[in-house]
Structure 1
Amino acid sequence: MFRVRKCQNTFIYLLDNINTLFVDECKNCSIITGPVQTSLFVRNCTNCKILASCQQYRVRDCNSVTTFLACTSDPIIESSSELKFAPYQFSYPELKGQFAAAGLNVFNCMWSSVHDFSPNGDGSLNFSYLPHSEKVSDFFLLPQEAVEQHCVPTGDSDPDASSTAAVAVQDLVNLKISFDETCSIVPKTAGSLELAPIEDPMSVLVAVFHHPEVEDNAMALIRQIVKTGKAFLVRTRSAILRPEDIRQIFGDVTHASHAKLGPVIFLLFCGAEGEVCQLCTDSVREVVRAKAIQPQTLLHVTDNPVAAKRQFQMFVCLCDAQQYHT
């Protein structure tokens, strides 16, 4: 367990695995964390910015807190106001291993499914979502930037303490931290079709069945599609399901047999009608060819928008039911 308490006007970087994290009574702080294996609690905080990944995210008695979040369950808020949420965009060399050690799946991110336990009686919301175009770098400073812009020599009378602090700061500065969404270990998602920055979006589903380097190949596919600017990633989900579950979704014996191989990753994209279907189909073919994926049916595209949304929702429901019964 780790606790951050009563900090003001502070830049905090906790770039390691944490079991449970409490952030209490902080004001005007910028907090960036490594993966939190269980829960991240934010309580009685004002005007703070948080970049975090965790299993559960809970905010209580807070005002004006902006969170760039990767969370494997629905974020929960209570007795709070003026909260803002956005998708996680972050990377550094050790982060992938830390996610694995924390048991967090980068494709199970529910950042936008906020549940308010104390809604306003007039129907107004205590939270909102930042526009999809917002970047982490507009809200947070890299360690080097924080040192250059805000650190002032203290004249500490203890040279050993000053030396230790200087080494710690330099170690932090030397980390190859990036806020670039194209490098983020967690793929950036719009959260829902309603939040996607496009009018009347058309949905396309891509299912990536288990095979060697499946996560790397799924990320390569996402980047190839998104970099065109013609499509957005709406949501992602990953789970191990039974063959009969996959057959229920697709009505296909071949895909059902693939379920025996391991976890399947579902990617829901959206874009303009007439563009997004062909883009996703062509991108899947290119990744299959470039990565020599066999059989080719390990990557599947549903380009009917109604079927794509239905199949993704069926997958989510089956995942939730599985989680409930385990």
Structure 2
Amino acid sequence: MGCNISYLFSRDDCTGKDLTIGNGINSGSSKPQGYSWDQKRSEQDVSMFTIDGLENGEEGRLPGTVNGQQFQIKNCKNSSIYIFDWSNTITIDDCTNCKIFIGPVKGALFVRDCADSTLVSLCGQFRTRDCKNMDIFLHVNTQPIIESSSKLRIGCLQFCYDSLPEHMKLAALSPWQNVWWKVHDFTPPDEGKNWSKLSSIFKVKDCLPKPQLDRLKVLHTSSEQVDSVIPLTTGPSKSNDNSSEASLVAIFYNEKQSELGRECMKKMETVPGVNLVRTALLKVRKADSERHFPDWKDKVETGAVLCLQLGGIGAQTVASEFATAERNYVWISKNDPNKDIQALFGLAEMALGF
């Protein structure tokens, strides 16, 4: 929004002639004056940013076609929809029995009055209202919010397509900041819950079919864990929060930080029963490091710290072996892992405003 100021008369600095600005017409010519914002608006095809009334069909957008604009999906039934691009905000309204993929959304993804559908998405914020019976695979950098919704099953997104890492950077989304499991329900029931975690046996590939349109099939996509840009996390639970087999791995800022995080994950995957519970990428203040992690005080000022919580039998062994190989940049919890985990992710939640 802003102020709209109209000047009735101005003067051409080159000719000295008066120009009539209020009606956009030069007093010396009958030709209307053009404005850059009008030209930009007229050049955009509004239909490129809306999918409305699709039934029993398939539709989608390729990289470069949305390019950070707002997008709407509404009134669709029995259809598959794919947005392989980044956007500013997206609204999905009144869709039933649909399978929808949404690429990185810089701001909020709003889902309203939808039912019996599958949604796979990456976004900065996630909101539902009046939705029911949905499977949702999510990567979200802030706390998901649901309202007046029921029978929602939410899990960790696993997906990749050409240009996804680039689109995530444009949308300012970090692959290491995914709190899909920390759902806040504005309208909780008296008994039970309106949402549940999707079991690990449910995979994106089982719920979201690959595109069949020729113009969409040219894009390489994968929902396999090994290809996913997003780390697979289980989310905290009573079992892994209280487990004696837990470890916190901290990787201090360096040019190989993200690469080292993925190397730790690969090592973890070689040990059955060890899971990646959650991750965080956060800037730790020196005062907080001195209070909770004295060993960090000389390292936190260089940049954000990447933290991984490992859980399950063998977690401490995996962390110890990884830290030994990368001792210059890696710290692991030793004496009281659960205390360190609570302290670190408490700082992470404060940073996110929980």
Is the TM-score greater than 0.5?
yes
Partner of 1:23: 92
Deviation digits for residues 156-201 of structure 1 (CA, Å, limit 9, x no counterpart): xxxxxxxxxxxxx3342121211011221110101113376x9956
Q: Percent identity?
A: 29
Aligned counterparts of 2:202 and 2:270: Cα–Cα separation in 1? 16
1:250: Cα distance to partner? 1.6
Aligned mate of 1:260, from 290, 293, 301: 301
Partner of 1:212: 255
Please state if 1:271 is matched with 2:312.
yes
**AA matched with 2:217:** V
Please state if 1:94 is matched with 2:163.
yes
**AA matched with 2:316:** C
Structure 1 outlier segments of 4+, above 3 Å: 193-196, 198-201, 319-325
**AA matched with 1:312:** I
1:257: Cα distance to partner? 1.1
Partner of 1:111: 180
Q: Secondary structure at the match of 1:77?
A: strand
> How many residue pairs end up in the alignment?
285
In the TM superposition, what are the counterparts of 1:181-200 in structure 2 within 5 Å? 181-194=225-238, 200=243
Deviation digits for residues 64-119 of structure 1 (CA, Å, limit 9, x no counterpart): 01100011111111111111001010112311111111111111111001111111
Partner of 2:333: 302
TM-score (norm 1): 0.82
**AA matched with 1:204:** S
Structure 2 residues without counterparts, runs of 5 or longer: 1-69
TM-score (norm 2): 0.76
Residues 187/75 of structure 1: CA separation in 2 closer, same or farther (3 Å cut): same
Partner of 1:166: none
Q: Secondary structure at the match of 2:104?
A: strand
In terms of fraction of residues, the more helix-rich structure is 1
**AA matched with 1:206:** V
Residues 301/199 of structure 1: CA separation in 2 closer, same or farther (3 Å cut): closer
The CA RMSD measured in Å over matched residues stands at: 2.0
Residues 9/104 of structure 1: CA separation in 2 closer, same or farther (3 Å cut): same
Partner of 1:134: 202
Q: Secondary structure at the match of 2:137?
A: strand
Q: Tell me if structure 2 keeps the 8 A contact 1:203–1:303.
A: no
Q: Secondary structure at the match of 2:279?
A: strand
Aligned counterparts of 1:250 and 1:55: Cα–Cα separation in 2? 29
Partner of 1:179: 223
Q: Which structure: larger Rg?
A: 2
Aligned mate of 2:348, from 310, 313, 319: 319
